[in-house]
Amino acid sequence: MVRSWGTDKQIAVALFILVSSVYFATVVGVTSSNDGSHYALVRAIVDRHTFEISPYLDFTEHQDYALRGDLRFSDRPPGTALAAAPLYALSTFLPTPLKQPPSKHDAENLRMIYAVALSPLAAASAVAIFYLTLRSYFNRSRFSALLVSLALAFGTTTWKYGSVLYSHALASFVLWASVFFVLRSWNQPLRWYESLLFGFLIGFAPLVEYTSILASMILGAAWLIGTQPIRNWWADQRQRANIIAFIVGAAIPLGFLLIYNTINFGGPFEFSTFNVDTSIWPQNQGMAADFATPLLTGLQGMLLYGLDNQGLFMLSPLALLGILGLWHFIRFTPRQAVFILGLFVVMLVIFSKSTTFNPLTNDGRYLTPFIGLWFVPIAFWVDEVYSEQRGEVWSLILGIMLFGLLFLSTRNQMVHIAFSWNYDFDMTRLRSMATAPENISYFLSTLFPNAVNLLLLWLGEGGLIGISTILMEWNTRRSQIRQPGIVAEVS
């Protein structure tokens, strides 16, 4: 068991390196007013030590900003900028890029790439945690866990938003780290510092995406209800310590958000998204206006196609296998299935009701952090149906269906990215040949404009892995000195 767990950790690290490398190579800089608004706040925090972004208003394309009198702020939740700011600040001491990607905004700033690097690192971390969750708490085979993790990484919009400084990559990391803690607590009690970290994640989620407040409430309730009966929450000393640590952890980011709102917009519950120029964004006049889409219309757009929005099953046909995996998931682990699928359905309904579920990106991007929840049943389908010994014809049909849908989903993501803002793939430049080397070269150069800078990423990741290995080795030796009998028994 010890060796198996160590191997899973190594696979997760390798998966992180692979996914982050592809995402980082896909980075094209700041692509639009949305990530421009996040980036404007990063620049304001690091360069001017303020939340006011007037000098960087061009990055928002004079539309994605909040206002209070003559002052201008990002209309995005502040969490993404807060997380990217340390990377941007450290870039002063880091190597300059070998080649600056063709960013739409601030292209001359060689430090910009480090702020955007947050998204590849966060999204790749989410995929690695997703893999460990399938292995540790759903008992999936390495084959299905790794296959579905790669499908999540490259066959969904996780790829696109793991390469741009939108909020969804960081939201994915926060969600899957939180889900991991919840499922861990159902198997064994959390230590107080784990509860503190879990609470911080729960509290930080709304700073990344305001709608995640609902997901945080569900995750927190699942942790409390799933660990002990309600009557024992406060009676058990360890659980009492965990609850206190959880509250303290959650209070830190939530307290910051209330202070941020008060300082910038005049009240603790004055969120940036409702302090925009409503002549540009009339749907942000209030909650009723922001969630006014007819549910069936929104569901059609989020899952299939509608209002020029490519839904989940349209962009990621592999997600259709989640339907086939539902029965196996529910039969194998009903409590976890209710938790995972319930969270997905709640967030799907919320985003389907939103009037901005298709804010010109044509892909229902707000659902991106939660797609992995729907992919869990696919891992069950792979193990329970695809991997079973069957006749040759049936195995061939299942193989074509699985890998055909995976190929089609990956192809869709590549084309979707190539046609996205600031990638600008031009089909008129293609020769009328299916496999002309010029066509392939042009498409790959459009898809991976930052590939030349991968050395910077690998140097940073190599350093972090090296430091982590040294610390783990030091901790192991320390444990051997303290408890030599236990170590000998494990060996």
Please say if the pLDDT value at position 488 is more than 70. no
Spatial contact of 114 and 157, defined as CB atoms under 8 Å apart: no
CA angle 276, 277, 280 (to 5 degrees): 120
Please say if the pLDDT value at position 231 is more than 60. no
Please say if the pLDDT value at position 464 is more than 50. yes
- Reported as a single tens digit per residue, the pLDDT across 317-348 is 999 999 999 999 999 999 999 999 999 999 99
Q: Smallest Cα–Cα separation from 250: which of 272, 273, 219?
A: 219
- DSSP label at residue 78: T
Please say if the pLDDT value at position 395 is more than 80. yes
User: Mapping DSSP to helix (H, G, I), strand (E, B) and coil, where does residue 444 land?
Assistant: helix
User: Could you tell me the pLDDT band of residue 6, with boundaries at 50, 70 and 90?
Assistant: low
CA distance 373 to 359: 23
Average pLDDT score over the chain: 90
- Reported as a single tens digit per residue, the pLDDT across 403-428 is 999 999 999 999 999 999 999 899 98
**Given the DSSP bridges, would you call strands 305-306 and 65-68 parallel, antiparallel or unpaired?**
unpaired
Query: Which residue has tokens 């404009």?
Result: 449
User: Could you tell me the pLDDT band of residue 471, with boundaries at 50, 70 and 90?
Assistant: confident
Query: Which residue has tokens 């409590």?
Result: 335
Among 118-122, 163-167, 381-385, which stretch is predicted with the lowest mean pLDDT?
381-385
User: What pLDDT sits at residue 483?
Assistant: 58
User: Could you tell me the pLDDT band of residue 133, with boundaries at 50, 70 and 90?
Assistant: very high
Half-sphere exposure of 136 (CA within 13 A, CB side): 23
Among 3-17, 64-78, 100-114, 181-195, which stretch is predicted with the lowest mean pLDDT?
3-17
Please say if the pLDDT value at position 489 is more than 50. no
pTM: 0.93
**What sign for the dihedral angle of Cα 226, 230, 233, 236?**
negative
For residue 241, the tally of other CB atoms under 10 A from its CB is 15
User: What pLDDT sits at residue 463?
Assistant: 85
- Reported as a single tens digit per residue, the pLDDT across 242-280 is 889 999 999 999 999 999 999 999 999 999 999 888 877
Q: Smallest Cα–Cα separation from 317: which of 412, 399, 383, 386?
A: 412
- Reported as a single tens digit per residue, the pLDDT across 21-79 is 999 999 999 999 999 999 999 999 999 999 999 999 999 999 999 999 999 999 999 99
106-134 in b/e form (b: 16+ CB < 10 A) is beebebbbbbbbbbbbbbbbbbbbbbbbb
- CA dihedral 214→218→220→223, nearest 10 degrees, is -170
User: What pLDDT sits at residue 490?
Assistant: 37
